[in-house]
Amino acid sequence: MRRPLSVHDAALRVVQRLRQHGHQAFWAGGSVRDMLLGREPTDIDVATDAVPDTIISLFTRTRKVGAKFGVVMVRQGPHWIETATFRSDLDYRDGRHPEKVVFTTAEEDAQRRDFTINGLFYDPIDKQVIDYVGGRKDLEAGIIRAIGDPARRFAEDHLRMLRAVRFSARLGFPIESETAAAIREQAEHISRISPERIHEELERMLDHPARAEAVRQIAELGVLAHLWPNRYWPPDRVADSIRVLGHLPEKAGFVLSMAALLNEYPPAAVLQVARDLRCSNQQGERIAWLIEHVDDLHHAEVLCLPAMKMLIANEGFEDLLELHKAICLARGLPLEGNEIARQRKASIPPEEVAPPPFVTGDDLIAAGLEPGPRFREILDRLYDEQLDNQLTSRDQAIERMRALLSGSEPEAEHGGPCRNPSVEDSP
């Protein structure tokens, strides 16, 4: 059985075919950096002097993704290889995209890139690194340095300020002093970048185990305060968020990490931040739910059974445990509540966590009650008592419903309903 074509072999094929037709072609950018660091690249880009129409004519399966910028996707086996014409970028008027590009040489193409460690080329046929920008030296020294004038690089594309921090945190490389100074000087301009791109870059930072270091750097460089409107980041809040992020598990995802970052924000403000960053509704609601309910675990021992079950039933419960643990560790608080919550979850049979309700809205309508506040109140009361094991059958629940409707119901065995509406209404 023939092994699948690797991304390495796919990118090599693209270079070989371009070379066979008289063109320069190299591997470029991050894949070269990762290869020199001994890391297996997940994708490999090709840079060439062939123009887009020529690239398209030389390969059977292609897709234009940025032909005006000289970028064509070339299909080789299961892989799409980004293949770009050497270019220079002109007139960055919006702080992100060039107004015009001109096709040029490999050396000039390297000069327009962001950081020296990303400006390297590699010839996979001759097995030779091509370095026009001093990237190999900076890679060996472990430094993030802008190519050429740092102020110009960041003025061209403000998003590069976040990218500098992401590379620095992930690789453990400090940002070179002039490059860092240029970031501080232009930090406020990050607000000119679309929220979608800021979200994308922030998600890449927070999805990585170096998330706390990344946030420390964007705060120290003055960028954090400009990522969304109406920001409020006093130093003690920044320090707390960094400590909490540092205690998250390595594989913490974006939602949990954002909850750690914003853990002292009120839920309504969290939802607004999520909207400002163009998070999905689901992401925003999950982040807010975590922050709204993390304090519940401080009192897990006395939390009533229905409320405990509804927390457990939420798909964010494991993240809630991790957020609570990280906050406790960051602030030197006892972990007793976290341990009790885990024990209580283990003690409840899974089928009892979120069972189908014995009584539904259809039953209330059949009994003559129209939808409204009382309607919701009775459904909530009945389901709470079911979760509290006071109601153990549908017949018993129907009888209880009739008593509630008639106003002759007895007091609940454990002092009435135990419900936080925001728990039930959360995703």
Q: What CATH number has the domain bearing residue 97?
A: 3.30.460.10
pLDDT at 417: 46
pLDDT class of 411 with cuts at 50, 70, 90? very low
Q: Which residue do the tokens 């209330």 mark?
A: 364
Rounded CA-CA distance 352/344 in Å is 12
- pLDDT at residue number 1: 57
Q: How confident is the model at residue 248 (pLDDT cuts 50, 70, 90)?
A: very high
**Is the pLDDT assigned to residue 229 strictly greater than 60?**
yes
Kind of pairing between the strands at 45-48 and 87-92? unpaired
Same domain, 114 and 193: no
156-205 residue pLDDT tens: 999 999 999 999 999 999 999 999 999 999 999 999 999 999 999 999 99
| Residues facing 115 on adjacent strands | 146
Residues 345, 242, single domain; the answer is yes
Q: Is pLDDT of 280 > 70? A: yes
Looking at the fold, whether 113 and 213 belong to one and the same domain comes out as no
Question: What pLDDT, on a 0 to 100 scale, did the predictor assign at position 414?
Answer: 42
Q: Last residue of some domain: 98, 125, 141?
A: 141
Confidence class of residue 90 from pLDDT cuts 50, 70 and 90?
low
Query: Do 221 and 233 fall into the same domain?
Result: no
Looking at the structure, tell me whether residues 287 and 166 fall in a common domain.
no
Q: Which of residues 117, 141, 165 is at a domain's end?
A: 141
Residue 154 shares a structural domain with residue 210 = yes
Encode burial over 278-294: b for 16+ CB neighbours within 10 A, e otherwise.
ebeeebbbbbbbbbbbb
Q: Is the pLDDT of residue 410 over 70?
A: no
Which residue, of 322, 354, 386, is where some domain finishes? 354
The DSSP secondary structure of 126-170, one letter per residue, reads: TTEEEESSSHHHHHHHT-B-BSS-HHHHHHH-TTHHHHHHHHHHH
Given a cut of 90, whether residue 311 has pLDDT beyond it is yes
Q: Do residues 17 and 131 share a domain?
A: yes
- Are residue 222 and residue 256 in the same domain, yes or no? no
Same domain (yes/no): 208, 286: no
What is the phi/psi pair of residue 63, to 5°?
-145, 125
Under the banding of pLDDT at 50, 70 and 90, the label for residue 421 is very low
Q: Does residue 343 share a domain with residue 264? A: yes
> 175 is in which domain, residue-wise?
148-227
Span 367-400, pLDDT tens digits: 998 888 899 999 999 999 999 999 999 999 999 9
Q: Is the domain of 343 the same as that of 325?
A: yes
Number of domains in the chain: 4
Give the containing element (helix H, strand E) for 308. Answer: helix 305-313
119 with 181, same domain: the answer is no
